Structure 1
């Protein structure tokens, strides 16, 4: 029998469950009420029924240890505090919403905490409508240690973070987005738990495979029924209870179990009857997961990485994989999706990375010039506005906006923000020290941080000032950038999106050291051509002689991007 995680309400009575196969006894503690001995069942499950309506605080007692419900729908007092019974049906939805087709997506990634929580995100949405953004992607919003975090240190995946707002406030934000015609995506983390507030190892060691190493410790044991259900049920909760339109699954290469990924996608597709969109982050560039009926797309780090090299000249760390012949690599990215399709990666000690992807449509790839990782994983969180020539960045923005891949921008991009986006946490004592020193140690392999004194200038992740500095303020040329983004996204909506479903590559070629011409056959038989030149010299190539759809600079002049559709 399959047992579901988390409390299940029946009027004023609630059934509580905990998977604790390492324990012989578990007690349910109700705040201000009785302590109830839970009944041991098959497979390590403990259950108890208790009179507990919405708002009741509870936790589980395991000898001397009191722990929150790992599938808590709400918390009071942080991830080490009381779990709270939540009524999933209390919110009264106002908007009927059929969703958006995948081809229409223009996604802005945002951090809810930096916008002021769920109500702040809701207030931000009208600005996205004006810009032409059609979807918002929330960095993880589930409960984590402290009040500030990127979200990837979450430990209670079912509970919205208290510092962002209540479950009903999150639903109201989704409702408001749908009212404005905006889809809502959520980033979820199923490859690890954060270091503060994760008690699973104390009573369910089988939740992990300690012998399978990941950057965060032992891999999650998704080949076991209870952990597998924990994550699949979590995905279904966001889609069903919160009416989220799509999920982005973080770093699934660290899960290392394609059977689980395929089973999760299949169950979501079967269970959720409305259109939802599933997106992967997968360092392995695994084209098989993007087959029809599984996942809609993958974040295409290759697109960012090669353009970052072309825009900045940086070749440290993982950018070294894109330093050689970057224009040829960009051409492959535009024509085939992945750049690495089975070649050895110097950044991965020569290990091969990727599988052939040329057969996939361009909409299977989400492209971006920046995201939380690519800015925030820099020591000082610099954006491209601080690293690249403005004319070259504008040219790259034209390519990003009008190519057939699905575009994603990061909060602040469209305002030309020059504010840093830094790595921030809210840990304390020894854990804070470990995170601070670990963060600084990550940069030892960068040439600019070989000196220890230089590494000590990297902002302390736990300082509130690090969080405050990460808010995306308008840049000095905000009006210029907003106008450029708005014009490009209007063109995309009117001219590209209607003929995007079924588009296919006609090939791409490097026509200079930093110049590429790419072509696609669109659904109506027209040809989309983009000529990009990020060099300081003009280049020559065969390009259309008809009217331009858009141009930043003269076609193939220095720092230019020209687009034709005919």
Structure 2
């Protein structure tokens, strides 16, 4: 952990509060605390500091060469992202929670703003018992760092230490995590360290050297990880969320955009620093990494999102072949077989629909090194109309693919509403104004201009109605109950049969045999037994005979076009 009083933001020493900001090029920096200015002292490392008597709730700004800005490491804002920051005091999370083993993870991704009609942490907490009752063991919350306005996905955040106020207070987040833990649920947070949003990122003014203007990402100038202060900012951010709120881990967004000098060192050092926050319990770290490379999982990260599994399922079920689906269009079911056998599909081989190879061999990694999904916020929300898979493919096909997700030995992730067969869209939304709003509106329309079927066009991402349409429908219908029953049965099989095998460790490579155009039989050997699975995903195969006493069954693959059977046998 960073020594007390070092690094970014505020810290306490008895009754005095120390404020620090990195402004290496500034000539003069002052602390504006409750409307009085306190001179700050510059340090050789580029940080400026001031220690003063303070009270919790005081408001403050930093005056950098005459420009007043909120604290880039603000833990709480008095208003929007342009408002003064607020002096806070750390609160220890409730003791007694010992965490859960990673092999037990069955993750549920949710967006707080649209998960419930209220869009708050308090309302979301009221739904956790139902999720735990289905067998879900972990909640992954989309980013909550403060962003402009009230509506958004969270990936345009500019104050990554501060909870977005539309979701509730810091106490509400403490209560959410405590309640989740009381139900046996882990809580992960999605953390964006590869860019800032387009409005309110005052780091550009206070510390221009935070960015490398010679390198650019899709979101602007790249963050310069060669700077020790930059690496410390993000490491302290992760430490803060895990330490302050007792989170069970983090999901790091788009680490393939964390590049340049110092980036690899930063990622190698990040995992041990975060785990040192509380060595008494397991802390899990997930990455999103489009490169399909194993090095991060070999450097202390538990798992990576596996888009290859999603793409193979999606293309097989829908026939879509545009954009990043192009390289999966040749034979998506063969790709699904490969994903079940090795985790990733693209491991450096040449493939139709791609300009060059992507990835490295990952088949030696354990199944728990891959987080699989049939829907995510990305894959649903980045569609022009935000359609879920049930709106694009045969219901029985989607159910079977969903069951496969839950019983296969890879870590499953459910996107909110999937467990109840939701068909509500999940649409891209934001809450900017003026020229920036117009630019986002035009950019979103231009992105999908070539899709003739859109007719009336892309939903306005700035409209409150677009946001409202994305809220889950919690109606108690027979369809919702049917999907919940499937979820419960599949996750019970996973808990009773698959997790013990995962904990024992695998004893050899998986074996996946394709039988006909859309059926397979798969086996995964582990130290204490073997998981066997039979799947038909489009046509029944009479020769695909699963034993009659399989522990989990959704139809019969030898008779039904969409069916799955799974069982385990002892070593």
TM-score range, shorter chain: over 0.9
1:504-515 alignment, distance < 5 Å = 504-515=508-519
| 2: CA distance, partners of 1:95 / 1:271 | 14
Matched, 1:254 2:286: no
| 2: CA distance, partners of 1:466 / 1:13 | 47
Structure 1 residue aligned with 2:424: 419
Matched, 1:379 2:384: yes
Structure 1 residue aligned with 2:309: 303
CA contact (8 A) 2:297 2:304 kept: yes
Structure 1 residue aligned with 2:218: 215
1:16-165 alignment, distance < 5 Å = 16-31=19-34, 33-89=35-91, 93-114=93-114, 115=116, 116-165=119-168
Q: CA deviation at 1:50?
A: 2.1
CA deviations 1:44-85 (Å, max 9, x no partner) are 211112222211110112345221100001011111111011
Structure 1 residue aligned with 2:329: 323
* Structure 2 residues without counterparts, runs of 5 or longer: none
Q: CA deviation at 1:299?
A: 0.7
After alignment, is 49-58 or 436-445 more displaced? 436-445
Structure 2 residue aligned with 1:462: 462
2:235 paired residue among 232, 249, 272:
232
Matched, 1:337 2:343: yes
State the secondary structure of the residue aligned to 1:186.
strand
1:197 paired residue among 196, 200, 203:
200
CA contact (8 A) 1:316 1:446 kept: no
1:280 paired residue among 287, 293, 296:
287
CA contact (8 A) 1:9 1:53 kept: no
Q: CA deviation at 1:180?
A: 1.0
After alignment, is 505-514 or 147-156 more displaced? 505-514
| 2: CA distance, partners of 1:155 / 1:82 | 14
CA deviations 1:258-297 (Å, max 9, x no partner) are 2221111132234530210000100001112112x61110
Q: CA deviation at 1:253?
A: 0.1
CA contact (8 A) 1:362 1:505 kept: no
State the secondary structure of the residue aligned to 1:518.
strand
| 1: CA distance, partners of 2:552 / 2:171 | 43
CA deviations 1:158-196 (Å, max 9, x no partner) are 111111111121111111111111100000000000111
| 2: CA distance, partners of 1:366 / 1:78 | 35
Structure 1 residue aligned with 2:436: 431
Matched, 1:395 2:397: no
CA contact (8 A) 2:546 2:565 kept: no
CA contact (8 A) 1:160 1:166 kept: yes
CA contact (8 A) 1:95 1:175 kept: no
State the secondary structure of the residue aligned to 2:436.
helix
Q: 1:543 to 1:208 in 2, by over 3 A?
A: farther
Q: CA deviation at 1:445?
A: 5.6
Structure 1 residue aligned with 2:363: 358
* Structure 1 residues without counterparts, runs of 5 or longer: none
State the secondary structure of the residue aligned to 1:492.
helix
| 2: CA distance, partners of 1:370 / 1:326 | 16
Paired residues, number:
554
| 1: CA distance, partners of 2:127 / 2:100 | 20
CA contact (8 A) 1:396 1:532 kept: no
CA contact (8 A) 1:11 1:53 kept: no
| 1: CA distance, partners of 2:181 / 2:372 | 24
State the secondary structure of the residue aligned to 2:285.
strand
| 2: CA distance, partners of 1:446 / 1:391 | 27
CA contact (8 A) 1:418 1:474 kept: no
Structure 1 residue aligned with 2:272: 266
Structure 1 residue aligned with 2:523: 519
Q: CA deviation at 1:245?
A: 0.1
Q: CA deviation at 1:94?
A: 4.2
State the secondary structure of the residue aligned to 1:288.
coil
Structure 2 residue aligned with 1:171: 174
Q: CA deviation at 1:446?
A: 4.8
CA deviations 1:537-566 (Å, max 9, x no partner) are 323556554521222221243112221322
| 2: CA distance, partners of 1:346 / 1:84 | 54
| 1: CA distance, partners of 2:275 / 2:186 | 18
| 2: CA distance, partners of 1:446 / 1:212 | 32
Q: CA deviation at 1:213?
A: 2.0
| 2: CA distance, partners of 1:389 / 1:371 | 19
CA deviations 1:478-535 (Å, max 9, x no partner) are 111111111111111112112222135332132233223221013312x212222222
Q: CA deviation at 1:20?
A: 0.9
| 1: CA distance, partners of 2:552 / 2:525 | 18
State the secondary structure of the residue aligned to 1:154.
coil
CA contact (8 A) 2:177 2:246 kept: yes
Q: 1:128 to 1:424 in 2, by over 3 A?
A: same
